[in-house]
Amino acid sequence: MASATLSTSDDYDGDYDFDDDFNEDEENLNDSSQTTFNDTMDYSHRNISTLDVNDLFNSVKNPNRITNFQLNSNMLLTVPSQIEHFRSIITLELSNNQLIQLPSEISLLENLKNLYLKNNALDDFSLPKEFEQLKQLEVINLGGNRLKQFPYQLFQISSLKEIYLGSNQITFLPDLFQTLNKVEILYLGGNQIGNVPDSIGFMRSLVVLNLSGNRLRTLPRSISYLNRLKSLSLHNNQFSALPPDIIRLDLQELSLRNNPLVVRFVRDLTYAVPTLKELAARTIKLHRVPYNDGTLPRSLVGYLNAAKSCLNPKCKGVYFESYHKNIKFVDFCGKFYLPLLQFLCSPACTSTPTFEMTSSDSDDTEEIPTKDMTNKFKKVLLG
C-alpha cells in the first residue's frame, strides 16, 4: 500500500507538494558528470527554457540506467518528444515549470510509475490521448494547473494508487470512479466541485480522501462503503448534512471546519419564550383536558391537534411554535463526536439524555436513527 500522510494543514498546496526545494547552483546543462548520479539525472532549478534530450541521451554512458529524471523548477513550455529514449525512467519530475502540453511520446515510457506535473499551465487538452497507455503509472500529481474537468485518461489507468488534482478549476466529476479501485489517495481539494458521484463508493482501497475547498453540500450514501478510509477532509465547503451511514467509517481524521452550518447552528440555538396561547395549549395537552368543536372554536381545535411531542422520552410535554434546539453530541467511531440537532419543549429537558445513536460497529442501518426519530432531527450535522 502506498504510504499516506494524514495532513491537517489548512493549506491546499501542502497536500500535494513534492519536496523539490533544492539549493543547487546553476550549472552547465551539458556537464553530465555533475548532473548524473548513478540512476538519477538532475537538471532541476536551472532556469532551462528548452531542452535537447538527444544531447542528454548521447552524453550519458548508460541511458538505460536512468530511472529518476528531475526537471522541476525550470521554465519549460513543453517536453521534447525525444524523452522516449529514456525507456527506463520510473520517476519523472516536471513540477514548477510553464508546461502547456505533453508529447504523445511520453506514453512510451513503459516503466514510468511516478509523474509529477504540479504548478504548470496544463489544461483539459494538454494530456495526449495515448496517456492511458502508461500501464505502470502509480502516482500522478497534476495539482496547481488549469484543469476544468477530471482527466478522462486517468480512468483507463488501473494501476494508479495516488491522484493529486488539488487547486485546479474542476467543476464536475464523472461517474466513472469504479475503474480506480486501487487508488489509495485521492486529493481534489481547492476546486469548484459541486457533486460527488455514487461510483466513489467503489474505490475500496481508498485511505485518504480530500474534498476540501469545493462547493459540496452533501455526499452520496455510497461513501460509507469505503471501509479502508482513514482520513476524510471536508472543510471549506457548503455542507448542511452528511448521510447517516457515514458513522460506519472507521476514520482517524475527519475535518469539517468552515462550513456554513457552523454559524447557522449557533444562531438557531436561541429559545423563544412560548406565548400565552401556547402555554394554555400545552397545559390542556399535558393534563389531557377534553375538548371538541362544541367547546372550542375549530381553529383552536386544529391548533391543539398540531402539538408535537418533546423528544426527551422522560418528558411528557409538547410544543407548538416555541421549542428549544439542543445539540446532542453523538459518538462517532469511538474517536470523536458529531453534533446532532434535537427539538425539545424547553431548555429544562436538556439535562436528561434523549437519544442514542448506534456506533460505527453496527451493521443495521435501520438503527441510524430509529424511524420515529427521523422527522425530529436534521440528520448528522457538521461542526
**DSSP codes joined into one string, 203-266:** -TT--EEE--SS------GGGGG-TT--EEE--SS--S-B-GGGGGS--SEEE--S-THHHHHH
Give the mean pLDDT of 69-78: 95
Could you tell me the pTM of the whole model?
0.67
- Give which of 314, 323, 318 is closest to 289, Cα–Cα: 318
Mean pLDDT for all residues in the chain: 80
Identify the bridge partners of residue 162 per DSSP, sorted by sequence position.
Answer: 139, 185
Cα 126 versus chain centre, distance: 25
- Is pLDDT above 90 for 68? yes
**163 vs 308: which has the higher pLDDT:** 163
Helix (H, G, I), strand (E, B) or coil at 17: coil
- Give which of 174, 172, 177, 171 is closest to 163, Cα–Cα: 177
Percent of the chain whose pLDDT exceeds 70: 74
C-alpha atoms less than 13 angstroms from C-alpha of 187 in its C-beta half-sphere: 28
CATH homologous superfamily for 13-259? Ribonuclease Inhibitor (3.80.10.10)
**67 vs 19: which has the higher pLDDT:** 67
**336 vs 313: which has the higher pLDDT:** 313
Give the mean pLDDT of 92-96: 98
